[in-house]
Amino acid sequence: MVEPLHVAVLMGGWSAEREVSLMSGAGVADALESLGHRVTRIDMGRDVAQRLAEAAPDVVFNALHGTPGEDGSVQGLMDLMGLRYTHSGLETSVIAIDKELTKMLLVPHGIRMPKGEIVATESLYEADPMARPYVLKPVNEGSSVGVAIVTREGNYGDPIGRDVEGPWRHFDRLLAEPFVRGHELTVAVLGDEALAVTELMPVKGFYDYDAKYTDGLTRHVCPADIPHEIAEAAMAMALKAHRLLGCRGCSRADFRWDDEQGEAGLYLLEVNTQPGMTPLSLVPEQAKYRGLSYPELVQRIVEEAL
């Protein structure tokens, strides 16, 4: 029998991923209650410190996604308040949410990532920063928020049109990376173990925010139908990145794999320190494949925080 705890589930907030966070938080809260824990649900507002102080929980389950719940801000607040909380701490969160900082830390340790450069949005209306096809993405957002693949045949224009919808209309700076053809893969790490490799196959287009969180738009193949050595390499790379970044609890590493290049075509794109916990999310799916139910997964993440 698990010793009952008072767990505050922090969810919602005001990032672009608010709705997903609310779904994650609701699932987590229900699972905790099914295990006999006392749960206080907190939809994060500007009064979050007061709400947490009033709740005085044994531990906080951080189910926030994006800023300020995943970028170190909330982690610093909870550190100051002396609260124990799930997932990664302040320093790890600051680095992992920033794709350029993540590259600076991981690449020197032998983790292959696409070479990229930070570009001013205004410059895109004059000329491409690199040969097409390339990817443009916000420097510090998650869940494929605001990602665009710029191709020769695309409808963004050449150069990109100022009035065409895309991440350039919402961010002053963007990360430009060469597009890696091939397969979309992801690996969850729980504690100190890589769980599995899932291949993500969007019904159309690419694995963007809508494809990630809309039922029926993406097919998940778990375990991925890829060569054993590629799966092993992806899991090893995900675990190494998790350790180098100092992640706690669980993380999820996203990859692209160019099957024409073998293992040399496997590239880490980013590490998510607070992966989704919705019914469509990948960490619960991989945990289930490894024999862990959703409540058991939630319990494991809470135990890591303690």
The one catalytic residue among 18, 41, 252, 256: 252
Residue 263 has pLDDT above 50, yes or no: yes
The one catalytic residue among 249, 270, 281, 294: 270
Residues 160-176: pLDDT tens digits? Answer: 999 999 999 999 999 99
> In this structure, how many other beta carbons lie within 10 angstroms of the beta carbon of residue 46?
7
Residue 138 has pLDDT above 60, yes or no: yes
Residue 208 has pLDDT above 50, yes or no: no
Residue 212 has pLDDT above 80, yes or no: no
The one catalytic residue among 85, 134, 156, 213: 213
Active site residue 54: no
Q: What are phi and psi of 67, to 5 degrees?
A: -80, 145
The one catalytic residue among 15, 24, 272, 281: 272
pLDDT number for residue 202:
78
Residue 84 has pLDDT above 90, yes or no: yes
The one catalytic residue among 70, 98, 208, 254: 254
The one catalytic residue among 17, 71, 98, 184: 17
Give me the helix-helix angle, 294-305 and 282-289, nearest 10°.
110
Across 110-130, average pLDDT = 95
Active site residue 263: no
pLDDT number for residue 140:
78
Show the domains of the chain with their CATH numbers. Answer: 6-87 (3.40.50.20), 96-113+181-305 (3.30.470.20), 117-178 (3.30.1490)
Those residues with Cβ within 8 angstroms of residue 184's Cβ, 6 or more apart along the chain or in another chain: 199, 200, 201, 202, 206, 207, 254, 255, 256
Active site residue 272: yes
- pLDDT category, 145, cuts 50, 70, 90? low
Active site residue 110: no
Active site residue 98: no
| Cα–Cα distance, 125 to 166 (Å, whole number) | 12
Residue 44 has pLDDT above 80, yes or no: yes
Active site residue 17: yes
* The amino acid at 146: G
Across 66-86, average pLDDT = 96
Active site residue 209: no
Residues 50-75: pLDDT tens digits? Answer: 999 999 999 999 999 988 999 999 99
| Cα–Cα distance, 300 to 306 (Å, whole number) | 10
Active site residue 155: no
Across 291-305, average pLDDT = 97
pLDDT number for residue 147:
87
